[in-house]
Amino acid sequence: MVTDELTAKASPEQRRPGNPGRSGRTSPGPEKQAGAPRQSATRPAAGAPRQPAARSTAGTTKAGTTTGTSAAGTSAAGTSAAGTSAAGTTAAVATATDRGPAAPGLFARLLAEAGISDTRFARQVNNRARTQRRVELGLARTTVGHWRRGMKPRDPMVAELAAAELSAVVGYPVPPADLGWRGEGYERDDLGLAVADLPDDTLRTLAGLSGRDMRRRDVLHDGAAFAAAAFADPVLSSLTGVISRITGDTPASPSGGAMIRDMTATFRRLDARFGSSEIRPQVVAFLHDRTRAAVDGPADTDTFSALAELAQLSGWLAQDCNRHALAQRYYIQALSLAEHAEDVMMAGRVLSAMSDQAAALGHHRHSLALARAAIDRAARQSAPPVQAMLQDRLAWALARNGDESGCMRALAEMERVISREPGEAPSWAGHYNSGDVAECQGHCFMLLGKSTVAEQRLLEARYLQGEARARSRAYAEADLALSYLRRPRPDLEAAIEAGYQAVELAGSVSSTRITNKLTELDEAIAGFSKVVAAREWRSRVSDVVGRGREHPRVTSG
């Protein structure tokens, strides 16, 4: 977004006014201006030839371009000395365009979606430039038409202003990069990494993030990276209670929050059965639709709480598809929504999800800090199943950090709270059962190097976990197979049998978490290459394991 802080600054090459031609490029024209510095009309794109300057007499309007005079010493950015105005920037800035590949039809589609004409949009961009930058663009409707047909603004400032106006029109952020334009902050991509002050701002950020995700922007796939430190400000804001709460007594929508929760519960069941990549596009589209609807309606805590749950699921699905930079942004916005709604249990749930992501990427100390933050934020005010889920993540984090005694305490607390009556547990915690407890214990013992005890707990989990939880069961079977290989005398036959069961369960699940775990098992079995059964295993599972090797390996769990 363009703000008042981004006021026009004098560039190394100051602006020169010129006249826009029919093609939208700048055409030269002679002008003489006494006592005023030359001003550059455009900032040429990299590698493009410099446009010749056009001049006009001070105060004269030429081809729809206004040029103001300034007192001596006035900056070329359009600021003035006392009492003197200097617009200094002309229509050539706005209308100069480059041909090149833009996001196909996105600008045109969003403009049509908003029901705004080229003339009106040009006028609003001109007003924004005048108000925020104190410059006169003189943007014409024909230039907007060029943009709709795929041409791009040459000047980064114009791209920023037009994208900012488009964002205001559609109601959520649309950065220049999403339109295929080069803006002033081209290298910066922090959409979704900050906690907004106001509830409506969080909704708009999430709508922009999910809209970009729907358009498959590569910037959140390959260009941006997960940064564990980016969780610091959201977590601190959550723990200290500085995030604005929804105020007033706006009644909950009769169908809004409930409908979102029902759909989210359905998506969770499908994810557990089929994996993330099969359903993620549908979840993101639903999130975008519901978030935009919430922007246009009154703010109520029930809808915000339901959207927080949906955003948390979107983060998990992105994480399981190996899109960690995107997942991190969803988690941060989910935490913001939960705090706006004062949903303590969901806030704890999101913090524990952040811990899981940090651990998966090898940031073990960050993972432990986040798991403890989840306990501090929510444990005392949560239903028993939620408390058990939070202790589950804490136990994993402690085991990864080699804290055996701390891990044992967390596991004991998890067993204690799960044995209590569930109370008023939210629907998203209803799946957590004794099978999850046994699996968590088995995985933690494996991380602590206690494979014999882990084997016992994972065998128990085999009979306790529900059949619909294909991903959890596949992961547990793979860890069970590894425990057989870590016996004092490895049992290859039992390991391969459990491994085949894991592969069978994984066959219906699209999940990088599972393929990475199966890759770990395959590499362990590779040490027995002289055994026929091991070679046969490697041949039979090569397709499944190969999917895991397409992604960078991350820490187990």
Indicate whether 133 pLDDT > 70: yes
Q: What is the pLDDT of residue 152?
A: 87
Tell me if residue 490 falls in helix, strand or coil.
coil
- Which pLDDT belongs to residue 224? 64
Q: Is the Cβ–Cβ distance between 97 and 154 less than 8 Å?
A: yes
Q: How far apart are CA 46 and CA 55, in angstroms?
A: 24
Question: Cα dihedral angle (467, 470, 473, 479), rounded to 10 degrees?
Answer: 160
Residue with tokens 């002050």: 197
Tell me: the pLDDT tens digits for 366-375?
999 999 999 9
How far out from the chain centre does Cα 200 lie? Answer: 18
Domains of the chain: 1-188 (no CATH), 192-342 (no CATH), 435-557 (1.25.40.10)
Of 338, 278, 274, residue with least CA distance to 306 = 338
pLDDT above 60 for 143: yes
pLDDT tens for each residue of 265-289: 999 999 988 888 889 999 999 999 9
Residue 61 has pLDDT above 90, yes or no: no
- Top pLDDT among 246 and 368 is at 368
Residue type, 365: R
Query: Under the phi-then-psi rule, with left for phi > 0, alpha for psi from -120 to 50, and beta for the rest, what region is 300?
Result: beta
Helix residue ranges, H only, 76-179: 91-95, 106-114, 118-128, 141-148, 156-170
Q: What is the mean pLDDT of the chain?
A: 79
- Which of 132, 221, 217 lies closest to 174 in space, CA to CA? 217
Comparing 109 with 223, the larger pLDDT belongs to 109
> Residue 305: which H helix or E strand, with range?
helix 301-320
Residue 27 in 3-state DSSP? strand
Could you tell me which of 207, 210, 208, 290 has the C-alpha nearest to residue 256?
290
The first and second tokens of residue 550, run together, are: 């397409």
Going by C-alpha positions, the residue among 5, 353, 340 that lies closest to residue 204 is 340
Residue 45: pLDDT over 80: no
Burial of residue 287, with CB atoms counted within 10 A of its CB: 0-12 exposed, 13-18 middle, 19 or more buried: buried
Q: Residue 444 phi/psi, 5° resolution?
A: -65, -40
Which pTM does this prediction carry? 0.70
